[in-house]
Structure 1
Amino acid sequence: MKVIRTIEELRAEVKHRTSTGAGPVGLVPTMGYLHEGHASLMKRAREMTGTVVLSIFVNPIQFGPGEDFETYPRDEQRDLAVAESNGVDIVFIPGVQEMYPKPTKTKVAVSELTSLLCGASRPGHFDGVTTVVNKLFNIVKPDFAFFGMKDAQQVAVIEQMVYDLNLDVKIVPCPIVREADGLALSSRNVYLKPEEREQALVLSRSLNTALEQLEKGSITTAGEVRDLLTKVISESPIADIDYAEVLSFPDMIPLENDSRLSGTGNATILALAVRFGKTRLIDNALFQSKEGIPHV
Structure 2
Amino acid sequence: MQTVHTLTDLRAALRQFPNWALVPTMGNLHAGHLGLIARAQQENVPVVASIFVNRLQFGPNEDFDRYPRTLPRDAELLAGVGCDLLFAPSEAEMYPQPQTFRVLPDAAIAGILDGAARPGHFEGVATVVMKLFQMVRPRYAVFGKKDYQQLLIIRRMVEQFALPIDIIGLDTVRAEDGLALSSRNGYLTPEERAQAPQLQAALRALADDARMATAPEQILLLEQQAMTRLDQLGWTPDYLTLRRRTDLHTPTAQDLHQGVPCVVLGAARLGRTRLIDNLEC
Task: Kindly indicate whether residue 64 of structure 2 is the aligned counterpart of residue 84 of structure 1.
Answer: no
Task: Kindly indicate whether residue 45 of structure 2 is the aligned counterpart of residue 41 of structure 1.
Answer: no
Q: Distance in 1 between matches of 2:58 and 2:266?
A: 19
Task: Give the match for residue 95 of structure 2.
Answer: 100
Question: Counterpart of 1:120 in structure 2: which amino acid?
Answer: A
Q: Which of 142, 164, 179 pairs up with 1:168?
A: 164
Q: Which of 220, 223, 233 pairs up with 1:223?
A: 220
TM-score, with length taken from structure 1: 0.89
Contact residue 25 and residue 142 of structure 1 kept, 8 A = yes
User: CA distance change for structure 1 residues 227 and 260 in 2, over 3 Å: closer, same or farther?
Assistant: farther
**Unaligned segments of structure 2, at least 5 residues:** none
Task: Kindly indicate whether residue 108 of structure 2 is the aligned counterpart of residue 144 of structure 1.
Answer: no
Contact residue 207 and residue 242 of structure 2 kept, 8 A = no
Q: Which of 112, 125, 134 pairs up with 2:130?
A: 134
Q: Distance in 2 between matches of 1:231 and 1:98?
A: 45
Q: Which of 256, 260, 264 pairs up with 1:266?
A: 260
Q: Distance in 2 between matches of 1:198 and 1:261?
A: 37
Contact residue 52 and residue 89 of structure 2 kept, 8 A = yes
Decide which moves more: 66-75 or 219-228: 219-228
Question: Counterpart of 2:168 in structure 1: which amino acid?
Answer: V
**Unaligned segments of structure 1, at least 5 residues:** 19-23, 288-296
Question: Paired residues, what number?
Answer: 277
Q: Which of 40, 65, 69 pairs up with 1:70?
A: 65
Matches within 5 A, 1:196-215: 196-214=192-210
Q: Secondary structure at the match of 1:48?
A: coil
Contact residue 49 and residue 87 of structure 2 kept, 8 A = yes
Q: Distance in 2 between matches of 1:210 and 1:232?
A: 11
Deviations along 1:87-129, whole A, 9 cap, x unmatched? 2000000000001011111001111211111111111111110
Decide which moves more: 140-149 or 243-252: 243-252
What is the aligned-residue RMSD (CA, Å)? 1.7
Deviations along 1:11-55, whole A, 9 cap, x unmatched? 12112222xxxxx31100000000111011000011113110000
Q: Which of 270, 277, 280 pairs up with 2:271?
A: 277
Task: Give the match for residue 104 of structure 2.
Answer: 109
Deviations along 1:182-227, whole A, 9 cap, x unmatched? 1110000000112221222111111222333456x4x555235414
Q: Which of 167, 175, 180 pairs up with 1:184?
A: 180
Contact residue 7 and residue 139 of structure 1 kept, 8 A = yes
Contact residue 267 and residue 275 of structure 2 kept, 8 A = yes
Deviations along 1:49-88, whole A, 9 cap, x unmatched? 3110000000011111011111001111110111112220
Q: Which of 190, 200, 225 pairs up with 1:194?
A: 190
Q: Distance in 2 between matches of 1:232 and 1:5?
A: 47
Moved over 4 A (4+): 260-263
Q: Distance in 2 between matches of 1:135 and 1:61?
A: 12
Contact residue 28 and residue 74 of structure 2 kept, 8 A = yes
Decide which moves more: 131-140 or 73-82: 73-82
Question: Counterpart of 1:151 in structure 2: which amino acid?
Answer: D
TM-score, with length taken from structure 2: 0.93
Q: Distance in 1 between matches of 2:115 and 2:59?
A: 11
Q: Distance in 2 between matches of 1:161 and 1:130?
A: 8
